[in-house]
């Protein structure tokens, strides 16, 4: 039996069953025996391979399997008890009889978070202060900006910060001095999140930024968590393979902006979804306009000005008259939106009298104006690999993100009347196939030379995926009478080599879709390729200069 970790109070099957009963989950405990009630629980897991001695195993009924199908493995790994549904109880009793206490509830996914919160000690007032970000695009970038600002504020007070998202899970005094593990999901399962909160507390983490995917909200992964501040970026077409319609997609994201879950909601109101989200959010709601369209917003971005490849801007507060000048080094107007959202989320957290932070509002203003918290590299997000030719790697993999990224990259080219834009693009397999023709059309309309290649095919036929993009591209060239050079080159390494071969010093190369990813999943086989390293290597081979560290994986 694994000892109880420091700071965890004793939880037994009996006390957990009582808690679930008191919070409306109507649990049934079997067998009804003294040993069952007194059985101690020291952790929780949903993936059978991650069960540790003393854990509560949460056995869910899923699309691929039922967790209870793995009960033998779970027992051998020392699970102390199981939380599951009626189907799971039947499977367990048929497999091993009454050897292990089983708590039966109807809604296992809903109960997993509150159960894990009790086991790991998560409460509305416990550290870390949580900053969650949701939206179709901008979650990763905004959470890196949040973490950079929070560590600028907290490191001087000997406090650490944390990050949970698509790229990595990290905790430490600063982004540079953190323990980091690669992520296999944007938002982990509830039991993993509460375990993380406990680990963050033991690492002196006072505040953490986390991406909240719409899947996470739909799959109840954030149940039992309380957000100090939650931010909304935007809502455009993506993930329709899960949510079906934009209405359901909206409803999924709206689940984060509820008083019961979030103290302050900061809603970017640059699109219709933002206005609706602000109207429907409950609790303390703050609006942010970064496009100059919503004069009634609490906070607005004004006076933007090019600063290198990035942008300087002023944050103004309509109520207080505050004007805060700051900037981001990342290209693109959308990165002004991301930086403004991160800034307002932390400013609002510092102004919440019922939930004092380790920093004041004045500390935040001072950091924004003098410490450049948004001059950080976000792996694979508008990451500049070289400046001559301009060579950028970005994660854009849906129509809206592509348009934004291509606009961002074209802007300096148009201002300096310089060169042609060479774009390498693909699309992921087993994800929303309806967006592929749209992406192909956007590519040929906004770039001068387009190379259709592979992204992450997963189990789909890569040629089929490329055909979807090519179909949209050919249609757009025909109907628009475009002169765009269009090629289909695979594998991706050859496509990158072709892009570099076609580039002159005045040109711009953009690799879109994979960003930080260092391998492709081709029918279950991991094919190693990192766009940043490949691009840097090809540029060096042609004698071009690359930025130091830019090709690092
Ligand atoms: C659509 C989706 O999110 N599905 C998630 C869901 O699957 P599910 O409910 O069908 O459950 P299941 O996969 O049948 O598993 C049931 C039980 O059997 C176990 N099992 C299952 C199969 C197996 O081979 N071995 C095994 O042990 C599971 O651990 C679980 O205990 O619960 C599973 C268990 O936690 C997740 O692994 C699975 O994520 C899949 C792999 C996935 O690809 N999710 C993606 C879509 C996702 O969540 N993406 C978002 C980001 C989206 C974005 O913004 O791009 C994210 O937050 O990562
Ligand atoms: N605020 C924004 N609005 C629109 N597009 C954006 C915004 N921020 C970033 N993008 C574009 O979307 C891409 C993804 O950005 P980022 O990874 O920060 O978002 P994300 O929400 O985490 O994406 P995903 O959910 O796919 O992980 C970027 O590479 C850029 O092309």
Tens digit of each residue's pLDDT (9 = 90 or more) over 132-176: 999 988 999 999 999 999 999 999 999 999 999 999 999 999 998
Ligand 2: atom nearest CA of 378 is: 18
Check: CB of residue 376 under 8 Å from CB of residue 136. Answer: no
Q: Is residue 553 classed exposed, middle or buried when 0-12, 13-18 and 19+ CB atoms within 10 A define those classes?
A: exposed
Q: What is the pLDDT along the chain (553 residues), one digit of tens a residue?
A: 455 667 788 899 999 999 999 999 999 999 988 899 999 999 999 999 999 999 999 999 999 999 999 999 999 999 999 999 999 999 999 999 999 999 999 999 999 999 999 999 999 999 999 999 999 889 999 999 999 999 999 999 999 999 999 999 999 999 988 999 888 899 999 999 999 999 999 999 999 999 999 999 999 999 999 999 999 999 986 666 666 788 888 988 999 999 999 999 999 999 899 999 999 999 999 999 999 887 789 999 999 998 877 899 999 999 999 999 999 988 899 999 999 999 999 999 999 999 999 999 999 999 999 999 999 889 999 998 988 999 999 999 989 889 989 999 998 888 777 899 999 999 999 988 999 999 999 999 999 999 999 999 999 999 999 999 999 999 999 999 999 999 999 999 999 999 999 999 999 999 999 999 999 999 999 999 999 999 999 999 999 999 866 554 3
Query: The sheet that has 383-387: what strands, in order across it?
Result: 383-387, 390-394, 508-512, 421-425, 449-452, 485-488
Terminal CA-CA length for the chain: 39
Report how far ligand 2's centroid is from the alpha carbon of 138 (Å).
Answer: 4
Q: How many residues does the chain have?
A: 553
> Which residues are part of a known binding site?
135-141, 186-187, 213, 221
106-133: buried (b, 16+ CB within 10 Å) or exposed (e) per residue?
eebbbbbbbbbbbbbbbeeebbbbbbbb
Nearest residue to 352 (alpha-carbon basis) of 266, 270, 255, 234: 266
Check: CB of residue 470 under 8 Å from CB of residue 436. Answer: no
Q: Is any ligand 1 atom within 6 A of the Cβ of residue 334?
A: no
Ligand 1: atom nearest CA of 59 is: 31
- Ligand lying nearest the CA atom of residue 136: 2
Check: CB of residue 147 under 8 Å from CB of residue 166. Answer: no
Ligand 1: atom nearest CA of 109 is: 9
Check: CB of residue 231 under 8 Å from CB of residue 141. Answer: no
Ligand 1: atom nearest CA of 70 is: 27
Number of Cβ within a 10 Å radius of residue 526: 10
Q: Is any ligand 1 atom within 6 A of the Cβ of residue 457?
A: no
Ligand 1 probe mutation, 84, 185, 237, 431, most atoms within 8 A of CB: 185
| Residue labelled with tokens 């607005």 | 300
- Ligand lying nearest the CA atom of residue 381: 2
Nearest residue to 193 (alpha-carbon basis) of 120, 103, 139: 120
Tell me how far apart the alpha carbons of residues 201 and 130 are, in angstroms, rounded to a whole number. 12
**420: Cβ–Cβ under 8 A, 6 or more apart, which residues?**
448, 449, 507, 508
What are 199's two structure tokens?
A: 């680990």
Number of Cβ within a 10 Å radius of residue 218: 18
- Ligand lying nearest the CA atom of residue 211: 2
β-pairing verdict for 390-394 and 383-387: antiparallel
Ligand 1: atom nearest CA of 49 is: 27
Tell me how far apart the alpha carbons of residues 175 and 377 are, in angstroms, rounded to a whole number. 11
Q: Is any ligand 1 atom within 6 A of the Cβ of residue 220?
A: no
Tens digit of each residue's pLDDT (9 = 90 or more) over 323-367: 999 999 888 999 999 999 999 999 999 999 999 999 999 999 999
- Ligand lying nearest the CA atom of residue 185: 1
Domains of the chain, earliest start first: 13-120 (3.40.1390.10), 129-370 (3.40.1190.10), 383-541 (3.90.190.20)
**311: Cβ–Cβ under 8 A, 6 or more apart, which residues?**
304, 305, 327, 328, 333, 335, 336
Report how far ligand 1's centroid is from the alpha carbon of 188 (Å).
Answer: 10
Number of Cβ within a 10 Å radius of residue 293: 13
Tell me how far apart the alpha carbons of residues 16 and 2 are, in angstroms, rounded to a whole number. 18
Tell me how far apart the alpha carbons of residues 321 and 476 are, in angstroms, rounded to a whole number. 47
Whole-model pTM? Answer: 0.90
**352: Cβ–Cβ under 8 A, 6 or more apart, which residues?**
228, 263, 264, 284
Report how far ligand 2's centroid is from the alpha carbon of 137 (Å).
Answer: 3
């Amino acid at each position: 039996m694994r000892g109880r970790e420091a700071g965890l109070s004793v939880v037994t099957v009996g006390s957990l069953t009582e808690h679930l009963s008191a919070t409306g989950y109507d649990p049934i405990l079997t067998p009804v025996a003294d040993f069952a009630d007194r059985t101690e629980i020291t952790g929780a897991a949903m993936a059978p391979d991650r069960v540790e001695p003393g854990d509560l195993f949460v056995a869910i009924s899923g699309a691929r399997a039922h967790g209870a199908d793995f009960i033998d493995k779970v027992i051998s790994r020392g699970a102390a008890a199981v939380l599951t549904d009626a189907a799971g109880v039947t499977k367990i009793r048929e497999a091993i009889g009454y050897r292990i206490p089983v708590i039966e509830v109807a809604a296992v996914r809903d109960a997993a978070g509150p159960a894990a919160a009790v086991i790991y000690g998560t409460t509305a007032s416990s550290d870390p202060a949580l900053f969650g970000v949701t939206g179709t695009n901008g979650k990763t970038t905004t959470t890196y900006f949040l973490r950079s600002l929070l560590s600028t504020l907290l490191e001087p007070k000997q406090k650490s910060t944390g990050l949970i998202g698509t790229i990595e899970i990290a905790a430490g005094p600063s982004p540079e001095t953190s323990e980091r593990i690669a992520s296999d999901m944007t938002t982990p399962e509830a039991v993993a999140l509460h375990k993380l909160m406990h680990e963050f507390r033991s690492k002196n983490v006072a505040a953490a930024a986390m991406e909240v995917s719409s899947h996470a909200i739909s799959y109840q992964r954030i149940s039992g968590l309380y957000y100090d501040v939650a931010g909304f970026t935007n809502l455009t077409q993506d993930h329709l393979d899960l949510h079906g319609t934009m209405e359901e997609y909206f409803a999924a994201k709206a689940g984060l902006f509820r008083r019961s879950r979030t103290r302050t909601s900061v809603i970017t109101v640059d699109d219709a979804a933002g206005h609706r989200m602000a109207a429907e959010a409950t609790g303390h709601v703050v609006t942010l306009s970064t496009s100059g369209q919503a004069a009634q917003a609490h906070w607005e971005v004004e006076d933007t000005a090019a600063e290198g490849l990035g942008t300087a801007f002023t944050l103004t507060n309509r109520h207080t008259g505050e004007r805060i000048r700051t900037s981001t080094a990342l290209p693109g107007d959308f990165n002004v939106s991301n930086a403004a959202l991160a800034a307002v989320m932390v400013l609002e957290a510092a102004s919440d009298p019922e939930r004092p932070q380790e920093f004041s509002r004045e500390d935040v203003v001072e950091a924004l104006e003098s410490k450049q918290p948004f001059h950080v590299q976000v792996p694979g997000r508008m990451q500049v690999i070289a400046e001559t030719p301009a060579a950028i790697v970005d994660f854009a993999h849906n129509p809206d993100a592509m348009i934004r990224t291509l606009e961002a990259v074209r802007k300096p080219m148009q201002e300096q009347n310089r060169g042609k834009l060479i774009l390498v693009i693909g699309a992921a397999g087993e994800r929303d196939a309806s967006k592929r023709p749209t992406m192909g059309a956007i590519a040929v309309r906004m770039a001068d030379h387009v190379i259709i290649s592979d992204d992450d095919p997963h189990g789909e036929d890569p040629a089929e995926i490329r055909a979807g993009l090519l179909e949209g591209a050919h249609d757009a060239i025909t109907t628009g009478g475009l002169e765009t050079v269009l090629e289909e080159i695979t594998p991706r390494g050859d496509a990158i080599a072709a892009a570099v071969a076609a580039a002159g010093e005045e040109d711009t190369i953009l690799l879109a879709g994979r960003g930080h990813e260092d391998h492709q999943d081709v029918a279950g086989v991991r094919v190693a390729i990192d766009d940043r390293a490949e691009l840097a290597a090809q540029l060096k081979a042609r004698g071009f200069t690359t930025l130091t560290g830019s090709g690092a994986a």
